[in-house]
Structure 1
Amino acid sequence: MPQQILHSALPKGPNCWQCRNFAITHIPSVPYACRAMGFQSRLLPAMEVLRVDGQFCMLFAAKEKTAA
Protein backbone atom coordinates (compact mmCIF):
# COMPACT_ATOMS: atom_id res chain seq x y z
CA MET A 1 0.00 0.00 0.00
CA PRO A 2 1.65 3.33 -1.06
CA GLN A 3 2.05 5.97 1.60
CA GLN A 4 0.11 9.14 1.03
CA ILE A 5 2.09 12.32 1.73
CA LEU A 6 0.04 15.28 2.82
CA HIS A 7 0.86 18.57 1.08
CA SER A 8 1.40 20.31 4.43
CA ALA A 9 3.96 17.67 5.42
CA LEU A 10 6.24 18.50 2.48
CA PRO A 11 9.21 20.77 3.27
CA LYS A 12 8.86 24.32 1.98
CA GLY A 13 11.73 26.10 0.31
CA PRO A 14 12.71 29.74 0.71
CA ASN A 15 10.31 32.50 -0.30
CA CYS A 16 11.97 34.80 -2.86
CA TRP A 17 9.67 37.67 -1.89
CA GLN A 18 11.28 37.63 1.57
CA CYS A 19 14.88 37.45 0.27
CA ARG A 20 17.14 40.49 -0.05
CA ASN A 21 18.77 38.99 -3.17
CA PHE A 22 15.45 38.91 -5.06
CA ALA A 23 14.86 41.58 -7.71
CA ILE A 24 12.26 42.57 -10.28
CA THR A 25 13.82 43.13 -13.72
CA HIS A 26 10.92 44.93 -15.47
CA ILE A 27 11.67 42.74 -18.51
CA PRO A 28 8.42 40.96 -19.45
CA SER A 29 10.10 37.76 -20.69
CA VAL A 30 12.25 37.37 -17.52
CA PRO A 31 10.56 39.39 -14.77
CA TYR A 32 12.51 37.99 -11.79
CA ALA A 33 16.19 37.93 -10.85
CA CYS A 34 18.50 36.62 -8.17
CA ARG A 35 21.37 38.98 -7.39
CA ALA A 36 23.27 36.34 -5.39
CA MET A 37 23.36 33.85 -8.26
CA GLY A 38 23.35 36.42 -11.05
CA PHE A 39 20.51 35.16 -13.23
CA GLN A 40 17.12 36.26 -14.52
CA SER A 41 14.15 33.96 -14.91
CA ARG A 42 10.53 33.67 -15.93
CA LEU A 43 9.92 31.71 -12.71
CA LEU A 44 10.73 32.82 -9.18
CA PRO A 45 14.46 32.15 -8.71
CA ALA A 46 13.94 29.63 -5.89
CA MET A 47 11.60 27.63 -8.13
CA GLU A 48 14.13 27.74 -10.97
CA VAL A 49 16.92 26.51 -8.66
CA LEU A 50 14.72 23.67 -7.42
CA ARG A 51 13.77 22.75 -11.00
CA VAL A 52 17.37 22.75 -12.31
CA ASP A 53 19.35 21.58 -9.27
CA GLY A 54 16.76 19.49 -7.46
CA GLN A 55 17.56 21.23 -4.15
CA PHE A 56 16.25 24.28 -2.35
CA CYS A 57 18.09 27.57 -2.83
CA MET A 58 21.01 27.78 -0.39
CA LEU A 59 21.68 31.53 -0.83
CA PHE A 60 18.46 32.77 0.78
CA ALA A 61 19.10 35.86 2.92
CA ALA A 62 16.11 37.19 4.85
CA LYS A 63 15.26 40.86 4.42
CA GLU A 64 15.76 43.02 7.47
CA LYS A 65 12.54 43.89 9.21
CA THR A 66 11.79 47.60 9.36
CA ALA A 67 10.18 49.17 12.41
CA ALA A 68 6.81 50.71 11.62
Structure 2
Amino acid sequence: MPPEKTKTDCWGCRHFHITHRPSMPYGCYAMGFKSKMLPCLAVAQIDGNRCLSFQAKPAATTKSPID
Protein backbone atom coordinates (compact mmCIF):
# COMPACT_ATOMS: atom_id res chain seq x y z
CA MET A 1 0.00 0.00 0.00
CA PRO A 2 1.47 3.42 -0.94
CA PRO A 3 2.18 5.96 1.81
CA GLU A 4 -0.68 8.24 2.74
CA LYS A 5 -0.56 11.43 0.67
CA THR A 6 -2.69 13.69 2.85
CA LYS A 7 -1.61 17.30 3.01
CA THR A 8 0.36 18.23 6.08
CA ASP A 9 0.48 21.93 6.87
CA CYS A 10 3.05 23.38 9.26
CA TRP A 11 0.82 26.35 10.07
CA GLY A 12 -1.57 24.02 11.87
CA CYS A 13 1.14 21.99 13.66
CA ARG A 14 2.02 22.37 17.33
CA HIS A 15 5.76 21.85 16.59
CA PHE A 16 6.05 24.65 14.01
CA HIS A 17 7.62 27.95 15.01
CA ILE A 18 8.93 31.16 13.48
CA THR A 19 12.64 31.64 14.19
CA HIS A 20 12.85 35.39 13.37
CA ARG A 21 16.09 34.65 11.46
CA PRO A 22 15.81 35.98 7.90
CA SER A 23 18.09 33.25 6.54
CA MET A 24 16.14 30.41 8.22
CA PRO A 25 12.68 31.77 9.11
CA TYR A 26 10.86 28.50 9.86
CA GLY A 27 11.56 25.79 12.41
CA CYS A 28 10.28 22.49 13.74
CA TYR A 29 10.63 21.66 17.43
CA ALA A 30 9.85 17.96 16.86
CA MET A 31 12.65 17.41 14.36
CA GLY A 32 14.97 20.08 15.69
CA PHE A 33 15.80 22.00 12.54
CA LYS A 34 15.35 25.41 10.93
CA SER A 35 14.74 25.93 7.24
CA LYS A 36 14.26 28.50 4.53
CA MET A 37 11.06 26.71 3.49
CA LEU A 38 8.25 25.29 5.60
CA PRO A 39 9.54 22.20 7.43
CA CYS A 40 6.80 19.97 5.96
CA LEU A 41 7.98 20.95 2.47
CA ALA A 42 11.61 20.32 3.38
CA VAL A 43 10.70 16.85 4.67
CA ALA A 44 8.72 16.06 1.52
CA GLN A 45 11.60 17.25 -0.66
CA ILE A 46 14.23 15.22 1.20
CA ASP A 47 12.26 12.11 2.17
CA GLY A 48 9.58 12.05 -0.51
CA ASN A 49 6.85 11.49 2.10
CA ARG A 50 4.65 13.70 4.22
CA CYS A 51 5.88 14.80 7.65
CA LEU A 52 5.24 12.11 10.27
CA SER A 53 5.78 14.48 13.21
CA PHE A 54 2.65 16.54 12.51
CA GLN A 55 0.39 17.08 15.52
CA ALA A 56 -2.54 19.44 15.19
CA LYS A 57 -2.55 22.52 17.37
CA PRO A 58 -5.15 22.41 20.12
CA ALA A 59 -8.33 24.30 19.33
CA ALA A 60 -8.29 27.88 20.55
CA THR A 61 -10.60 28.51 23.44
CA THR A 62 -12.78 31.58 23.42
CA LYS A 63 -13.42 33.52 26.57
CA SER A 64 -16.86 34.85 27.21
CA PRO A 65 -17.07 38.56 27.99
CA ILE A 66 -17.37 39.44 31.65
CA ASP A 67 -20.53 41.39 32.54
TM-score range for the pair, normalised by the shorter chain length: 0.7 to 0.9
Question: CA–CA distance in 1 between the matches of 2:59 and 2:40?
Answer: 21
Compute the RMSD of aligned alpha carbons: 0.9
Instruction: Quote the residue 2:38 is aligned against.
Output: 44
2:11 corresponds to which of 10, 13, 17: 17
Question: CA–CA distance in 2 between the matches of 1:21 and 1:13?
Answer: 16
Asked if the contact 1:30–1:41 (Cα under 8 Å) also holds between the matched residues in 2, the reply is yes
**TM-score of the superposed pair, with normalisation by structure 2:** 0.82
Aligned residues: 58
C-alpha deviations, 1:7-37, integer Å up to 9, x for none? Answer: xxxx442110000000100000000000000
Q: Shift of the alpha carbon at 1:67? A: 1.9
1:60 corresponds to which of 54, 58, 66: 54
**TM-score of the superposed pair, with normalisation by structure 1:** 0.81
% same residue: 47
In structure 1, stretches of 5+ residues that fail to align are 1-10
Question: CA–CA distance in 2 between the matches of 1:64 and 1:30?
Answer: 26
In structure 2, stretches of 5+ residues that fail to align are 63-67
